[in-house]
A and B are shown apart, each in its own frame.
Chain A
Amino acid sequence: TQFKVLGQPTSIGKIFDELEKPFFEDFAKSTGLDVSANYNPVDTTGIKDAEGLRMVKSGLFDIVSLRFSPISRDAPIALGIDLVGQNPDYKSAKQSTELFLPEVKKVFEASFNTKLLGVWPFGPQVLFCKPEVASLTGLKGKKVRVFDQSMANFVDSLGGTPVPMAFPEVQQALQRGVIDCALTGPSSANAAGWPEVATTVIPVGFSMAFNGYGMNLDRWNTLSADQQAAMQAAFDTLDAKIWKRSEELYDEAMRCNSGGEPCSLKSYSLKVMKPGKADFDAVKKALAANSFPAWQKICDASTEGCSAAWMKTVGKAKGL
């Protein structure tokens, strides 16, 4: 049987080319079931990624690669695994998913008829600056490109000016000094040539940019128990591979951006500002003082008990 799949945008790069696309293109081999996939990257369809959950629910697609930041428009609870400041590194990202993903799954099933099969992070979204900025406190008075509201709040709290801007325009804007700094993953930055125009990078992850796979629940229920187990196992394997690859890619891109070896991407000579305790404290403080309260309001309005559940799990682990 065939599954209609809405995938990542093609522009994502290696995770798309090496893992997700082959996984679905040879869906029978990946799952060990008698299945195939009609796989469409989201950017070739004209459908916006913010519509991911609505796509699964409508049943147009059986499986959708869900980008958590955009879909949090419809399901704010999805951000609970990745509030700004919650995950400065991969270890805390793993912990966040273990603690809070069950809550997210519940809401996806109840409100969006969606079975969440797994999640993985693109990787730490870090700060690239053109003027030399030594630490996060140095952002005071700087114009910083952000791509969602919680980052904007955080930049604001550091005394910077958040500037929302489309990804393709960022490189020029950095070059011409329209903005001073910009946030993204180091491999996206590498591919878009940001290090050409920036001078420094501060490797503190503002967030992890999660992605997940959702399957239409009705479709899921047509599978037998054995088939469900096989399907889940296949996605678990894919997730594990992507988690690992994501971390490797992050390390390599950081290395390449700063002229290190070995490097299979474009090599640049950015200065890496070693984050100090003050930086990690700033990020943690932002979580308590900034991103959690902002999210709390929106999430509780949409899902009852949302923020309380977060406090009991992630909040407790972080000592909030």
Chain B
Amino acid sequence: MKLISNIAAWIFGAGLVGLALFVTADVIARKFFGLSFEGADELGGYVLAVGAALAFLVALVVRAHMRIDVIYARLPVAPRAVLDWVSLFTLTCMAGLMVWLGWKMLRDSMAYHSSAPTPWATPLAWPQGVWLSALALFFLITAGSLIIATRDLVRGRWREVNARFGSSAEKDELDAELADLKRRR
């Protein structure tokens, strides 16, 4: 899972850097040479759509999806594990819903031969197809995590559930920041 998440992060990051370069070239060309590549806007939209789906996945794997833990943090480990499982379950539902809705979007776009009203006149089915695949990957990871969490929960391994799927975003993040700061200095 860590590996998939790292690969997703690289695709996401490389997409952003590529987009940034393209847009920069476009802005400079527009300002100084009076020509526009056209399509930077459109590309930006697609990079975000696909990138967001990948980023959902990364955030899931590093447990960064925002949860408000005022009460949670004060509970014993067993109820915490149950809440972790419920949280994961709701995220899985959300991912499943997005895949289902994304599939319907794609199906309609194919049926209507919809194409973007832009210079590239991109058939919408292409970006939406890639987008849907990324969403599906996000769903698979949530569903896989849910299976593991269910198994651990049924066996009463509260600590494992908590350690793998619990909300400790701030603590994790802080530890990572401190480690990185050491590396930099």
Chain A positions near chain B (C-beta within 8 angstroms): 50, 54, 69-70, 72-76, 111, 141, 143, 148-149, 152, 161-164, 178, 298, 301-302
How far in angstroms is the closest Cβ of chain A from B18?
Answer: 20
Name the contact of A302 in the complex, choosing from B30, B113, B118 (C-beta under 8 A): B113
A141 to B36, CA, bound (A): 12
Q: Cβ of B36 and Cβ of A73 under 8 Å apart?
A: no
Chain B residues contacting A162 (CB-CB under 8 Å) are: 36, 38, 119
Q: C-beta contact mask, B120-161 vs A, less than 8 Å → 1, else 0?
A: 010010000000000000000000000000000000000000
B117 touches which of A149, A161, A163, A178 (Cβ 8 Å)? A149
Q: How far is the CB of A122 from chain B (nearest CB, A)?
A: 17
Q: Which residue of B lies closest to A112 (CB)?
A: B112
- Whether B41 lies near A164 (C-beta < 8 A) is yes
Q: Please tell me which one of the listed residues B30, B117, B121 contacts residue A143 in the complex, with CB atoms under 8 A apart.
A: B30
Contact (Cβ within 8 A) B112 A149: no
Q: Are B117 and A70 in contact (CB under 8 A)?
A: yes
Query: For chain B residues 35-65, which have a beta carbon within 8 Å of chain A?
Result: 35-36, 38, 41
Would you call B177 an interface residue if the criterion is a C-beta within 8 Å of the partner chain's C-beta atoms? no
B113 contact set on A, CB distance < 8 A:
301-302
**Contact flag A72-B30 (CB < 8 Å), given A161-B35, A302-B112:** no
- B112 close to A111 (CB less than 8 A): yes
For residue B30, which residues in chain A have a CB less than 8 angstroms away from its CB? Answer: 143, 161, 163, 178
Docked CA distance A163–B38 (Å): 7
Are A161 and B34 interface neighbours, CB within 8 A?
A: yes
Give me 30 A-to-B residue pairs in the complex whose CB atoms sit less than 8 angstroms apart, sorted by A's number: A50-B117, A69-B117, A72-B117, A73-B114, A73-B115, A73-B116, A73-B117, A73-B124, A74-B114, A75-B112, A141-B34, A143-B30, A143-B34, A148-B117, A149-B117, A149-B119, A149-B121, A152-B38, A152-B119, A161-B34, A161-B36, A163-B30, A163-B36, A164-B41, A164-B118, A178-B31, A298-B115, A298-B121, A301-B113, A302-B114
- Give the residues in chain B near A50, CB-CB below 8 Å: 117
In the complex, besides A178-B30, A178-B31, 9 extra interface pairs with C-beta distance below 8 angstroms are: A69-B117, A70-B117, A73-B115, A74-B112, A143-B30, A143-B34, A149-B119, A162-B36, A298-B121
Closest CB in chain A relative to B29 CB, distance in Å: 10
Question: Which residue from chain B places its CB closest to the CB of A300 in the assembled complex?
Answer: B113
Check: B173 CB closer than 8 A to any chain A CB. Answer: no
* CB-CB nearest in chain B for A153: B119
Enumerate the 5 nearest inter-chain pairs by beta-carbon distance, A residue then B residue, closest first: A302-B113, A74-B112, A74-B114, A149-B117, A148-B117
Is B108 on the interface with A (CB-CB < 8 A)?
Answer: yes
Interface size on B, residues (CB 8 A): 19
In the complex, per-residue mask of B89-113: 1 if CB is within 8 Å of any chain A CB, else 0:
0000000000000000000110011
Q: Which residues from B are CB-within-8-Å of A301?
A: 113
Bound-state Cα–Cα, A152 to B112, Å: 23
Identity of the chain B residue whose Cβ is nearest the Cβ of A180 in the assembled complex: B34
Contacts of B112 in A (CB 8 A): 74-75, 111, 302
Closest to B33 in A: A161
Cα distance A54–B107 when bound, in Å?
12
Complex: A149 Cα to B121 Cα, angstroms: 8
Complex alpha-carbon distance, A223 and B31, angstroms: 57
Query: Which residues does chain B contribute within 8 Å of A69, judged by CB atoms?
Result: 117
> B110: shortest Cβ distance to chain A, in Å?
11
Tell me the bound Cα distance from A152 to B30 in angstroms.
Answer: 15
> B178 to chain A: closest CB distance in Å?
40
Nearest CB in chain A: distance from B57 CB, A: 24
Output the nearest chain B residue to A164 by Cβ-Cβ distance. Answer: B41
How long is the Cα–Cα vector from A223 to B113 in the complex, in angstroms? Answer: 32
The interface residues of chain A lying within 8 Å CB-to-CB of B35 are 161
Nearest CB of chain A from residue B101's CB, rounded to whole Å = 11
- Enumerate chain B residues within 8 angstroms of A164, measured Cβ to Cβ: 38, 41, 118
For the complex, what is the distance from the CA of A76 to the CA of B41, rounded to whole Å? Answer: 21
Q: Across the interface, which residues of B come within 8 angstroms of A76, CB to CB?
A: 115
Instruction: Knowing A70-B117, A73-B117 are in contact, say whether A54-B124 is a contact too (CB < 8 A).
Output: no
Q: What is the chain B residue whose CB lies nearest that of A54?
A: B108
Please, which residue of chain B has its CB at the minimum distance from the CB of A75? B112
